[in-house]
Structure 1
Amino acid sequence: MTSDVTIVGAGISGLACARALHDAGRTVRVLDRGRRPGGRLSSRTLDGRPVDLGASYFVVGDDDRFGAVVADWERRGLARPWTDTFQVIQDGGRPTPKTGPLRWAAPKGLRSLALDLADGLDVTSEHTVASVAPYRVDDAPAGEVVLALPAPQAARLHDPVPGAVQDWEPVIAVVLRWEARRWPADLHGAFVNGDPDVAFLADDGDRRGDGVPVLVAHTTGDRARRHLEDPDAAIAPVLAATRRLLGIDADPVATYAHRWTFARPAETTGEPFFRSPGLSACGDAWGQSSSVRTAWASGDALGRALAAG
Structure 2
Amino acid sequence: MAVIGAGLAGCTLARALADAGHDVTVLDKARGPGGRLSTRRVEPQGWTFDHGAVALGARAPAWRQALAGWAAQGAVAAWSPRLAPDSVQPLDGAALWVGLPGMAGLCRHLLHGQTDARPLELLARHQVLALERDADGRWWLPVQRDEAAPLDGEARAAALPQAPRCGPYDTVVLSLPPAQAASLLDPWRADWAHEARSTVLRPAWSLMAVVDDGPDAPDWALAWPADGPLAVLARDDVKPGRAMHPGQQRWVIQATADWSAQHLADRPEAVADALVAAAGRWLGPRRWLHTSAHRWAYATSVRAMVSPERRARWDAALGLGLCGEALGGGGAEGAWASAQAAAAVSGAAGS
Instruction: Give the SS at the match of 1:81.
Output: strand
Instruction: Give the SS at the match of 1:253.
Output: strand
Q: What are structure 2's unaligned runs of at least 5 residues?
A: 113-118, 143-164
Q: Which residue of 1 aligns with 2:231?
A: 199
- The CA distance in 2 between the partners of 1:290 and 1:107, in whole Å, is 22
Q: What are structure 1's unaligned runs of at least 5 residues?
A: 89-93
CA apart distance, 1:158: 2.5
* Cα shift readout 1:106-153 (whole Å, capped 9, x = no counterpart): 341110111111113211000111112575233864221111010011
Q: 1:16 to 1:96 in 2, by over 3 A?
A: closer
Instruction: Give the SS at the match of 2:251.
Output: strand
TM-score by length of 2: 0.76
CA apart distance, 1:84: 7.2
Matched, 1:110 2:146: no
Match of 2:315 among 261, 267, 276: 276
Q: Is the 8 Å Cα contact of residues 11 and 40 (structure 1) preserved in structure 2?
A: yes
Match of 2:218 among 178, 184, 187: 184
Counterpart code for 1:266? V
Q: Which residue of 2 aligns with 1:305?
A: 345
Counterpart code for 2:292? Y
Q: Which residue of 2 aligns with 1:43?
A: 39
Match of 1:72 among 47, 60, 69: 69
Q: Which residue of 2 aligns with 1:17?
A: 13
Matched, 1:33 2:66: no
Counterpart code for 1:33? K
- The CA distance in 2 between the partners of 1:42 and 1:189, in whole Å, is 18
Structural RMSD (CA): 2.4
- The CA distance in 2 between the partners of 1:10 and 1:101, in whole Å, is 27
Counterpart code for 1:100? G
Q: Is the 8 Å Cα contact of residues 227 and 233 (structure 1) preserved in structure 2?
A: no
Counterpart code for 1:214? R
- The CA distance in 2 between the partners of 1:67 and 1:96, in whole Å, is 22
Q: Which deviates more from structure 2 when the two are superposed, residues 272-281 or residues 19-28?
A: 272-281
Q: 1:177 to 1:161 in 2, by over 3 A?
A: farther
Q: Is the 8 Å Cα contact of residues 232 and 256 (structure 1) preserved in structure 2?
A: yes
1:54-69 to 2 correspondence within 5 Å?
54-64=52-62, 66-69=63-66
* Cα shift readout 1:196-243 (whole Å, capped 9, x = no counterpart): x31111111222455551111111224323244622320001000001
- The CA distance in 1 between the partners of 2:174 and 2:55, in whole Å, is 24
CA apart distance, 1:286: 1.4
* Cα shift readout 1:62-110 (whole Å, capped 9, x = no counterpart): 333x44442333224331111277458xxxxx44656510001134111
Q: Which residue of 1 aligns with 2:151?
A: none
Instruction: Give the SS at the match of 1:157.
Output: helix
Q: Is the 8 Å Cα contact of residues 176 and 216 (structure 1) preserved in structure 2?
A: yes
- The CA distance in 2 between the partners of 1:107 and 1:26, in whole Å, is 27
Instruction: Give the SS at the match of 1:35.
Output: coil
TM-score by length of 1: 0.86
- The CA distance in 2 between the partners of 1:132 and 1:161, in whole Å, is 16
Counterpart code for 2:50? D
Q: Is the 8 Å Cα contact of residues 174 and 217 (structure 1) preserved in structure 2?
A: yes
Matched, 1:100 2:93: yes
Bigger Rg, structure 1 or 2? 2
Q: Is the 8 Å Cα contact of residues 6 and 146 (structure 1) preserved in structure 2?
A: yes
Q: 1:247 to 1:173 in 2, by over 3 A?
A: closer
Q: Which residue of 2 aligns with 1:232?
A: 269
Q: 1:96 to 1:30 in 2, by over 3 A?
A: closer
Q: Is the 8 Å Cα contact of residues 223 and 234 (structure 1) preserved in structure 2?
A: no
Matched, 1:266 2:262: no
1:89-238 to 2 correspondence within 5 Å?
94-95=86-87, 100-119=93-112, 120-132=119-131, 135-136=138-139, 137-138=141-142, 141-159=168-186, 160=190, 162=192, 164-165=195-196, 166-180=199-213, 183-185=217-219, 187-195=220-228, 197-208=229-240, 210=243, 213-225=249-261, 226-228=263-265, 230-238=267-275
Q: Is the 8 Å Cα contact of residues 202 and 301 (structure 2) preserved in structure 1?
A: yes
Q: How many residues align?
A: 295
Q: Calculate percent identity across the aligned residue pairs.
A: 28
